[in-house]
Structure 1
Amino acid sequence: MKLGLGKLPVSHADPFDHDNLEDPGPLHEALREAGPVVHLSRYDTYALARYQHVHAALTDWQAFQSAAGVGLSNFRYEKPWRPPSLLLEADPPQHDAPRRVLSATIGPRSLHRLRDQWAAAADDLVDRVLSHGDVIDAVPALAEAFPLRVFPDAVGIPDAGRENLLPYGDHLFNAFGPPNDLVDAGSGRIADLSAWVNAQCAREVLTPDGFGAAIWAAADRGDLTHEQAPLVVRSLLSAGVDTTVHGLSAVLYAFATNPVQWQRLREQPALARVAFDEAVRWESPVQTFFRTATTDVEIGDTVIPDGAKILMFLGAANRDPRRWGNPDRFDLSRDPSGHVGFGMGIHQCVGQHIARLEAESVLTALARRVSRIELAGPVHRHHNNTLRAWRSIPVQLHRK
C-alpha cells in the first residue's frame, strides 16, 4: 500500500487472486487502515472497506448506481453476458415493481406456512445424516443438501436437474469479478446451465403452489409485465442457493470452532437466527459488490469521478473495529443487526428471510440431537470471485 494520486492511497493488490480469496483478512485490514478510499491500480477502481462508507454507499442508490452492473464490468460501456437482473442490476423506477412483487412473494408472512414443513425436513435430514455415522462433511451433507431440497420445492421447479443450480450460481458470482481463471473454469458449461435455469422459469414448468407461480400471478394482475415474470423467477434461482449454502457452512464452521457458543445455542435455541446473522457478519458469504458513481462523489478527501467503478468490501466492513467490538470473534452475545452481509438499502437481499428460516430449521434440528460439533480434519475453501465459499468442512457430530 502506498500513497499516490495526490493523497489517495493506492494498492497494487489483486483482491481476486487465490491468496486473497483464501484469506482476505490481511488485505481487508490494510485497506481499512489506509483510508476511507483506496485506489486499486490493477483494475482502476476505488475501494471502500470501512463500515461507515460501505454502509453509506449501499444506501445511496442515487449516487452509487447498480444499473451499470454490480460486477467489474461497466454496463455503460460493455454489453452484459446475460440480461441484467431486475433486482440486483436495476435502480428505480425499473427496480420498483419487481422488488415489490418479490418482497410480497417471499416475505416473512409468506414464509410462515413453510416453517413447520421446513422444520420437519430438517429433522429428517439430520436423522438420515446421523444414521450414516458421526463423521460427516458438513458442506455436502447439510449446507448444500438442505437448501437444494427445500428452496427449489418452494419455488416450484422439478426435481430433475437441481444439481445445476450450484454451478450456475458459482459462475454467476464469479462473473462479477475479472475474467480470470475462475471465470474460465465455468465458461464451458454456462450456456447449457443458463438454458436449463431459464427453462425452469417458464410458467408451464412451475408447480401451481410455489413462489414462481405467485410471481406469474402477479403479472396477470398487472403488478409487473409478463416479460419481467421469468426474469424475477430467475433472480430467485440465481441468488437463492449459493449464498445460503455458504451462510450455512459458515455457521456450522463457527460452531465447530467455538464449542462454548454451541452450548449456548443448545441452552437457548431461540438464538438460532442470531447465530446465523452473526455468522453472516463474521464470514460474509458475499464478500464484495461493485457500484458505479453517477456523479463526482466526495468521500473523505477523495473525489470519485462520475462513471468510476467502486468496489465495496462487505467482508471488511463486517469486521471493521470502528463498528464492532472484537470483530474477529464469533459471539452469540453480540447484536449483529446492522451488518452488511445481506447488503443494505433498496437492494438489500430480498431473500434473507428465506436464508434465516433455512438456517433456523437446520440449527434447531441439530441442537436437539448433537451435544458437540468438532472439526474432524482439514477444511477446504472453494474460491469464488465474490463469495466466501466452502468446499469441505469435515466434522464429528457427538450425539446427545
Structure 2
Amino acid sequence: MTLTAPPHVPELAADPFASGVLENPLPLQAELRDAGPVVYLSHYDVYGLARYEEVHAALTDWQSFQSGAGVGLSNFRHEKPWRPPSLLLEADPPAHDAPRAVLSKILSPRALRSLREAWFADAEKLVDEVLAETSFDAVTALTQAFPLRVFPDAVGLRKEGRENLLPYGDHAFNAFGPQNGLVAKGAPRVAELSGWVNAQCARDRLSPGGFGARIWEASDRGDITPEQAPLVVRSLLTAGVDTTIHALGAVLHAFAAHPEQWSRLREEPGLARVAFDEAVRWESPVQTFFRTATRDVDVAGTVIPEGRKILMFLGAANRDPRRWADPDAFDLSRDPSAHVGFGMGLHQCVGQHVARLEAEALLTALAARVERIEPAGTPRRHLNNTLRAWASLPVRVHPA
C-alpha cells in the first residue's frame, strides 16, 4: 500500500530525476524551496528538504536521519544493495567510526602537504601543454585530465585500467537515483567495472606509500579489520574522481561566465580555494542525497514517519536566498564555507581536502598563465541522477 503525506504537507508531482530537471534543476529547486520547509514528492513517495536550514539540520543529525539504510532511493531495510554498502557513506556509528577515522587521518590537510609541491608542478606542466592551443574543451583537457593525472597515483593504482574509474563512478552515482534510463545505460558494464575496481583494492595491487597502502597498514595496526580495508579503498575510487572533476568543471565554467571574477583571482591567487568552494556552492556538483528517518521526526512542524525516505536537495540549499545574499551570483567576495556541497556533519566528504588541493594547484597554474577565459561554443551537460556535470565545456583562453 502506498503511503501518503499528511494533508498539510505541500505535495509536488515533479520528478527530480527527469532528464529536463537534471539538465536544469534550478526552476524545480526554487519551486521546492517556495513550497515549504518540507515537501512530499508523490512521484517517489518520499519527503523532500530543499531549504538550507532544514537540509543542514538533517545532515548534522545522523541519529534521526540515517545513512545506513542507503543514501539513495533504495531502502536497504527492504532492498538488497547492488554492491556492499560503503563503510563511510552508507554506514552510521559505530560501524562508521573506525573507517572514517582512518581515512580522515590519511587525507588530512597535514598529511597532504607532502603532495603539494608535486601536484603544483604537475598542474603547471599540464597547463603549459594545454595552452599550446588557445581553444580547447576544458573538460577533457583540464578537469578530467588533472585529477586522473594525480589522484590515482596518490592512491597507488597501477596505470592499466584507469579508464574504468569514470564509468564506474558515474554508474555508482546514478544508482543513488531511481531505476531510470541512466541506470539502465550503465548496467551492462556493472559486473566488469565492479570487478576491476574491487581487484584494485587488494593489498598486492597498491603501490607502497600511497593512500591505499596506508589504509592496509591501518588494518595491520588493528585500526580497521582486514575485511574493511578493501572497502575503504573502494570508497576512494568511487567518490574521489568524478566529484572532483565535476567541481573543477563548475569553477572553470563559472570563471568563463564571470570574467571579472577571473580578474580578481589573477590579482589575488590566494583566493583559489575560496573560488573552488564558491563554485561548489554555486553549481553543487553533488545535487542530492537521501536519508531515512530512524523515528517519527519533527521537521519545522511536519512529522516525517519512522522508516520514510527523505531526499535532501543540496543544490537547492546552496542557493537558498534565506541563507545566501544574491545566491545565484558567483562571487569571490563571499564566504562560501558553510555550503553543503560536501555534505555536513559526521558524513561530510572525507576527501574534500584532496579536492581543494587539486583545485588550488590547477587554478594557480591557470591564473599565472591566462589573462581571460571565455566560452568558445555551446557547453553540453552530462546527465547523472546525483551529479551536476559538464560533458563538454569549449573555452578560448587569452594567454597572459
TM-score range, shorter chain: over 0.9
* Equivalent residue number for residue 75 of structure 2: 74
The 2-side partners of 1:385 and 1:64 are apart by: 21
Q: Secondary structure at the match of 1:374?
A: strand
Tell me the amino acid that sits aligned with residue 164 of structure 1.
Answer: N
Q: Secondary structure at the match of 1:272?
A: helix
The 2-side partners of 1:134 and 1:389 are apart by: 23
* Equivalent residue number for residue 378 of structure 2: 378
After TM superposition, list the pairs within 5 Å mapping 1:297-308 onto structure 2: 297-308=297-308
Q: Secondary structure at the match of 1:74?
A: coil
The 1-side partners of 2:155 and 2:361 are apart by: 18
Tell me the amino acid that sits aligned with residue 254 of structure 2.
Answer: A
Deviation at residue 190 of structure 1 after TM alignment: 1.0
* Equivalent residue number for residue 36 of structure 1: 37
The 1-side partners of 2:118 and 2:198 are apart by: 27
Deviation at residue 5 of structure 1 after TM alignment: 3.3
* Equivalent residue number for residue 268 of structure 1: 268
The 1-side partners of 2:101 and 2:160 are apart by: 30
* Equivalent residue number for residue 341 of structure 2: 341
The 2-side partners of 1:138 and 1:276 are apart by: 16
Deviation at residue 124 of structure 1 after TM alignment: 0.5
Deviation at residue 4 of structure 1 after TM alignment: 7.2
Q: Secondary structure at the match of 1:204?
A: helix
After TM superposition, list the pairs within 5 Å mapping 1:78-89 onto structure 2: 78-89=79-90
Matched, 1:54 2:55: yes
The 1-side partners of 2:196 and 2:111 are apart by: 27
Tell me the amino acid that sits aligned with residue 274 of structure 2.
Answer: V
Matched, 1:138 2:143: no
| Greater displacement, 364-373 / 296-305 | 296-305
Structural RMSD (CA): 0.8
The 2-side partners of 1:184 and 1:6 are apart by: 35
Tell me the amino acid that sits aligned with residue 226 of structure 2.
Answer: H
The 1-side partners of 2:107 and 2:214 are apart by: 10
Per the normalisation by structure 2, the TM-score is 0.99
The 2-side partners of 1:326 and 1:241 are apart by: 30
Q: Provide Cα deviations, 1:20-43, integer angstroms capped at 9, x if missing partner.
A: 000100100000000010000010
Tell me the amino acid that sits aligned with residue 248 of structure 1.
Answer: L
The 2-side partners of 1:27 and 1:233 are apart by: 36
Q: Indicate the percent of aligned positions where both proteins have the same amino acid.
A: 71
Matched, 1:14 2:40: no
Aligned length: 397
Q: Provide Cα deviations, 1:293-351, integer angstroms capped at 9, x if missing partner.
A: 00001112211000000000000000000000000000000000110000000000000
* Equivalent residue number for residue 164 of structure 1: 164
* Equivalent residue number for residue 93 of structure 2: 92
The 2-side partners of 1:378 and 1:389 are apart by: 14
Q: Secondary structure at the match of 2:255?
A: helix
Q: Secondary structure at the match of 2:205?
A: coil
Q: Secondary structure at the match of 2:40?
A: strand
Q: What runs of 5+ residues in structure 2 fail to find an aligned partner? A: none
* Equivalent residue number for residue 282 of structure 2: 282
After TM superposition, list the pairs within 5 Å mapping 1:326-365 onto structure 2: 326-365=326-365
Tell me the amino acid that sits aligned with residue 109 of structure 1.
Answer: R
The 1-side partners of 2:5 and 2:182 are apart by: 30
* Equivalent residue number for residue 126 of structure 2: 125
Tell me the amino acid that sits aligned with residue 252 of structure 1.
Answer: L
Deviation at residue 93 of structure 1 after TM alignment: 0.2
* Equivalent residue number for residue 233 of structure 2: 233
Q: Secondary structure at the match of 1:90?
A: coil
The 1-side partners of 2:294 and 2:182 are apart by: 30
Tell me the amino acid that sits aligned with residue 24 of structure 2.
Answer: D
Q: What runs of 5+ residues in structure 1 fail to find an aligned partner? A: none
Tell me the amino acid that sits aligned with residue 192 of structure 2.
Answer: D
Deviation at residue 372 of structure 1 after TM alignment: 0.2
Q: Secondary structure at the match of 1:179?
A: coil
Tell me the amino acid that sits aligned with residue 113 of structure 2.
Answer: H
The 2-side partners of 1:17 and 1:4 are apart by: 22
Per the normalisation by structure 1, the TM-score is 0.99
